[in-house]
């Protein structure tokens, strides 16, 4: 047991020194692509975001949402023209890590503890 403690301390020390890169301001504007699997099929969504509006193109449909930044790495999306009650609910987005080409994020309905994760790739800077 005494031999394990120094190794655990070393592992903790090295893992606590790692900070994920988060240059969230770089992703407030631009054109992005999001890929996900729906019913086993890979689907792609492309969206353009300026600081306060996001326009998404998905399977031939275009949706516009307002963007309200809570802080540099977290924002709330609200569909401006909802077609159903489900689309009226705001979505909370939190950027977790960034790279030069995109970011990973966590999202879910505001107030719902259930969250999902995804990755976005930058298509074009604005």
Can you give the residue ranges of every domain in the chain? 20-124
Contact 53, 59 (CB under 8 A): no
Q: What is the pLDDT of residue 104?
A: 93
Alpha-carbon distance of 74 to 25, in angstroms, equals 10
Alpha-carbon distance of 62 to 81, in angstroms, equals 10
CATH code, residues 20-124: 2.40.128
When pLDDT is cut at 50, 70 and 90, the band that residue 15 belongs to is: low
Largest CA distance in the chain: 63
Concatenated DSSP letters of 15-73 = HHT------GGGGSSEEEEEEEEETTEEEEEEEEE-SSEEEEEETTEEEEEEEEEEETT
User: Mean pLDDT over residues 55-64, rounded?
Assistant: 92
Residues 71-125 pLDDT 10s = 999 999 999 988 888 888 999 999 999 999 999 999 999 989 999 888 999 997 6
When pLDDT is cut at 50, 70 and 90, the band that residue 37 belongs to is: confident
Q: What is the pLDDT of residue 16?
A: 52
């Amino acid at each position: 047991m005494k031999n394990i403690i120094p190794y655990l301390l070393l592992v903790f020390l090295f893992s606590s020194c790692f900070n994920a890169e988060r240059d969230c301001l770089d992703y407030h504007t631009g054109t992005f692509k999001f890929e996900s699997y729906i019913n086993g099929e890979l689907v792609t969504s492309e969206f353009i975001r300026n600081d306060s509006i996001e326009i998404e193109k998905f399977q031939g449909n275009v949706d516009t949402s307002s963007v309200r930044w809570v802080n540099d790495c977290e924002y709330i999306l609200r569909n401006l023209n909802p077609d159903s009650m489900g689309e009226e609910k705001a979505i909370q987005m939190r950027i977790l890590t960034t790279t030069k080409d995109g970011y990973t994020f966590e999202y879910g309905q505001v107030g719902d503890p259930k969250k999902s994760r995804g990755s976005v790739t930058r298509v074009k800077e604005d």
